[in-house]
Chains A and B, each alone.
Chain A
């Protein structure tokens, strides 16, 4: 087959993704902000698709946020990473999958740097032994958790109860995908589709019936910027970047946004809330925001999971208009319930009341 244009570029970046047997490592941000997404990932891969994804409680942060806030030296982050890889080896795995783009970028950077500077690798190996008495090892394959869902996208489609299609009009939903900078911008060959046309989310959207929107600021950063968010007085940087993206995507009328990185959905969700509070402006239909999802949440939705088991109540922008568009049933009374239906009140409505 002769590929041309985007197809050609995609065919150049066909990352090898093993089918099974992974050592699974969590994301700090996803655990805190979208914990049900990780639960869904493990439920789909293990229980729905029968794959082996092993997790140990002994793994920790990769140190990535501290590294990119410049509060720990490179040698520290590399030794923490060596410890994670050593745990993988200890438990008998050689395929490593992480649930975080910052981690994925940092693991890739670390492996590349070790490859280029063997003396540094030797030093880290020595650090690891001296501090943890663990045997140094490197993964045979490194994947981001979205690579796995991408790999299984057709298996998921085969079990799907819903499609990313507007039930009323029969038209595909218009979907914005946001990749997260550290997935492919640093080492394009390590991502599905490269930096220019990353296909990891686009492939899911197409397999599940939606239509991918191309818009001018599609590849612009969400604005996290590490220190530019964690320090309160810097957050204008973060907000401005998200604002720029929403202004750019608005004319294309997206129905929803799917994100790759754990942090991006938070920023794209919460800065919509802030923009609506500050300026009274919303970007979705009928005065609503545009709902923002993790890829695990979207996989769960098409497979027919209860939206509140997927953690969609932990979003500020309401997801209900999108559920109605697809025709996914939900119980509004259940949304903010605690475990076992316990009444734990509900968040106050935003001033703007429309999110």
Chain B
């Protein structure tokens, strides 16, 4: 039994999501990520249950563990009630803890995700927040979002929201006392440490790649260079 495997088993998602895998491949057959990416959840679960630290380390540094969409379709279908999606979450968690995530292009994207999503939670109390959704980053949102962005206050008022308003309602300003509690929760339960670790490892990587923090953000957000697709 290896040290990395032991670390993984501390994660409740492994306790919940990994019983004996019979290698049937049902999860891979149902998996939307396996169809799109060079990705095979069956193999990943099998590597973890092999308890082989060398293989697990490779996994933690690989692109593969970042391909899953966490849809949990695999959980419904697995005949042994494993949850490859939960196993992936535990692997990602450990990869970030150990700084291995910066070894893969898809893993490096955690820098942008933490900035955007964790940033929105701490600043506004929402995971996603209209003021930070920019049409230039979301061309798929269409000309409609450009119009909404240009007329945000009016559009949300017309649609019954309470954008930055007092009291309840959609997109209300969440009171500072509540944001302070979220910050305390972040500090106490490891989310702040997670953000700091992601930033520290990412900035080391940025220096290695000769990029400023801003350039690194744009790079990981906009570019994918390697061939990830399952053609």
B-binding residues in A (CB < 8 A): 26, 28-32, 35-36, 38-40, 55-58, 60-61, 63-66, 68-76, 78-80, 83, 105, 113, 116-117, 120, 127, 130-132, 181-182, 185-186, 188, 195, 219-221, 223-228, 230-237, 239-241, 244, 270-271, 273-274, 308-309, 311, 314-316, 336-339, 342, 344-350
Contacts and interface: CB of A to CB of B under 8 A. Distances in A.
A40 B116 CA distance: 29
Contacts of A83: 181, 185
Given A221-B32, A223-B69, A338 B117 contact: no
A350 B142 contact: yes
B29 interface: no
**Most chain B CB neighbours (cut-off 10 Å) among A30, A38, A68:** A68
A116 B140 CA distance: 42
A53 to B, nearest CB: 11
A346 B93 CA distance: 44
Interface of B: 11-13, 15-16, 32-33, 35-37, 66, 68-73, 75-76, 83, 89, 92-93, 96, 106, 109-110, 112-114, 116-118, 121, 125-130, 133, 137, 140-144, 146-148, 150-151, 154-161, 166-172, 174-175, 177-179, 181-182, 184-191, 194-195, 198, 220-224, 229
Contacts of B141: 270, 316
A57 B167 contact: yes
Given A72-B194, A188-B76, A338 B157 contact: yes
A67 to B, nearest CB: 8
Contacts of A39: 159-161, 170
10 contacts: A66-B118, A71-B194, A72-B194, A113-B16, A185-B75, A186-B76, A230-B117, A231-B109, A240-B36, A339-B157
A71 B121 CA distance: 11
Given A225-B70, A311-B159, A71 B114 contact: yes
A61 B154 contact: no
Contact of A224 (B15, B69, B118, B194): B69
Nearest to A228: B69
B189 A36 contact: no
Contacts of A342: 154
Contacts of A336: 147
Closest 6 CB pairs of A and B: A225-B69, A39-B160, A338-B154, A65-B127, A347-B147, A35-B161
B194 A60 contact: no
Nearest to B127: A65
A232 B113 CA distance: 11
A337 B155 CA distance: 8
Given A32-B133, A71-B110, A227-B66, A117 B12 contact: yes
Contacts of B195: 71
A270 B148 CA distance: 14
Contact of A63 (B33, B73, B121): B121
A71 B126 CA distance: 14
A117 B70 contact: no
B73 A181 contact: yes
Nearest to B65: A70
Nearest to A351: B143
B72 A58 contact: no
Given A35-B161, A70-B96, A132 B184 contact: yes
B7 to A, nearest CB: 14
Nearest to B85: A186
Given A70-B96, A181-B73, A75 B148 contact: no
B185 A132 contact: yes
Contact of A105 (B72, B157, B220, B223): B72
Contacts of A28: 126-129
A239 B35 CA distance: 13
B113 A35 contact: no
Contacts of B157: 338-339
B118 A71 contact: yes
A232 B182 contact: no
Contact of B144 (A55, A309, A314): A314
B221 A231 contact: yes
Given A28-B128, A120-B12, 10 more contacts: A73-B93, A73-B190, A73-B194, A76-B190, A182-B71, A225-B68, A338-B155, A338-B157, A339-B157, A347-B142
